[in-house]
Amino acid sequence: MAASMLDWALRAARQVLPSPCTRQVRSYYVDWRMLRDVKRRKLAYEYADERLRINAIRKNTILPKELQEVADKEIADLPRDSCPVRIRNRCVLTSRPRGVKRRWRLSRIVFRHFADHAQMSGVQRAMW
Amino acid sequence: KLFSTSSMLSTENDKSAASKDSSTEVASKSQKGTAEAPKQKLLDIIGSMTVEVSYRKKLKQLKTRKPLNPELVEAVSAVASSLPLSKKQTESELLAQLRRHEETTDKQKKGGIINIRNVISEMAVKRQSPAQRGMRISSRISLKLDEDDQRIKSLQNFFLVSSPTIWDLEFAKEIAAVTAQPPRNGFEEMIQWTKEGILWEFPIDNEAGMEDDAEFHEHIFLEKHLKDFPKQGPIRHFMELVICGLSKNPYLSVKQKIEHIEWFQNYFEEKKELLQEI
């Protein structure tokens, strides 16, 4: 089980670019929590349409209630990781779940590190 | 002034030592050059420059040309007489097209194996295409005989160019990887990023990557997809609301909208027994 998970993780994590890349290449996700988040995102993408349609049936005043109850059960039967609510916007580099700025997808610590080394384009220390 | 004098010189050179084909093309070009805007003059100059460059090649080709099929020549003359344009000009241009086509088919028959060097040299030569574009545009304006060419070509042409095999593609990729130098300056870096897809292409095309060929009426008038639904009742009401929402959605393609409607159709088909109990 662990071996297969590792295989899956390796395959999922390795992204081979077609052209020779001189930048830093990361071949593993930072930690298992990040991996689980990645899985949730993929499943949420796959089931997004179905969830949208079933919810359209549920959140309705026109269709009969029995039909809506059936739709309730159907959406509960979908895999738990397919709902978008379970996705957490983690830091891309450190997998920190809190203190993440959405625009850069980085945690506050990493952001500060890069900004101070002048590696963030257009970011400057504020002074007013 | 400089441009006009140089164009005069180049056109004179061409006329003095011209073959039958190039003379007609250059004549048409020079007529246009004097009449139209300076932009057209520039295009003509560039076009005539390329004509000069390829002149030696044309001399060689003239010497070593095999005679055209007499039936085709008769067909050409018949086509030229049937068209309203000037007969001699159309005839000469059609014959030029024929000869060019003959040469390409001969080349294909002789050199069946695709040479990778040619592929790479083509990739390098493509840079010259904006210069040749002037020539192409003027030739296109003067010709307008595509249908007739196709009729003639269909007699001959069933030799398809075989697409490069996987091994050829791999080899080309290897060569590209080996010869790829790291970017010397910021411009080359940006070019590389654009090729990889990291950088968008400017001017920004809002519909990049989106290939929606459907007209607006296919997006908005979705009632025709509701044919299989019952015409009365809550389901119809619900589906009409769905369609109203989909018609206002600019982010989905027509296919996706139809998929949504079909999914609902299947869903309600499955729940038919349940619905009839109610």
Neighbours of B218 (CB within 10 A): 15
Q: Minimal Cα distance from A20: which residue of B?
A: B177
Compute φ and ψ for B164, nearest 5 degrees: -60, 140
| ipTM above 0.90 for this complex | no
- Predicted confidence at residue B118, as pLDDT, reads 59
pLDDT band per the 50, 70, 90 thresholds, residue B70: confident
Q: Do A49 and B260 touch (CB under 8 A)?
A: yes
What confidence tens digit (pLDDT) does each residue in B115-147 have?
A: 555 555 555 555 444 445 545 554 555 454 455
pTM value is: 0.50
Q: Which residues pair with B177 in a beta bridge?
A: none
B99, exposed or middle or buried, with CB in 10 Å at 0-12, 13-18, 19+?
Answer: middle
Q: Which of the pair, B35 or B175, is modelled with greater confidence?
A: B175
The shortest C-alpha distance from A14 to chain B (Å) reads 18
The shortest C-alpha distance from B72 to chain A (Å) reads 49
Q: Could you please report the per-residue DSSP string of B166-217?
A: HHHHHHHHHHHHHH-PPPSSHHHHHHHHHHHTSS--SS--TTTT------HH
pLDDT band per the 50, 70, 90 thresholds, residue B61: low
Q: Is B264 on the interface with A (CB under 8 A)?
A: yes
Q: Is B38 on the interface with A (CB under 8 A)?
A: no
> Element (H or E) spanning A8, and its range?
helix A2-13
What confidence tens digit (pLDDT) does each residue in B84-126 have?
A: 667 777 778 777 877 787 777 676 666 544 455 555 555 555 5
What confidence tens digit (pLDDT) does each residue in B165-223 have?
A: 889 999 999 999 999 889 999 999 999 999 999 999 989 988 887 777 888 888 889 99
Distance from C-alpha of B243 to C-alpha of B265, rounded to nearest angstrom: 13
- Predicted confidence at residue B109, as pLDDT, reads 61
Distance from C-alpha of B278 to C-alpha of B276, rounded to nearest angstrom: 5
Q: Which residues in chain A touch residue B173, judged by CB atoms under 8 angstroms apart?
A: 18
CB pairs under 8 A between A and B: 41
Mean pLDDT is lowest, of A35-39, A121-125, B105-109, B157-161, for B157-161
The shortest C-alpha distance from B244 to chain A (Å) reads 13
Q: Minimal Cα distance from A17: which residue of B?
A: B196
Q: Which of the pair, B93 or B257, is modelled with greater confidence?
A: B257
Q: Do A62 and B242 touch (CB under 8 A)?
A: no
Q: Which residues in chain B touch residue A66, judged by CB atoms under 8 angstroms apart?
A: 274, 277-278
Q: Do A60 and B238 touch (CB under 8 A)?
A: yes
pLDDT above 80 (res A24): no
Q: Minimal Cα distance from B259: which residue of A?
A: A49
Query: Taking Cα atoms as reference points, which of A60, A78, A61, A69 lies closest to residue B277?
Result: A69
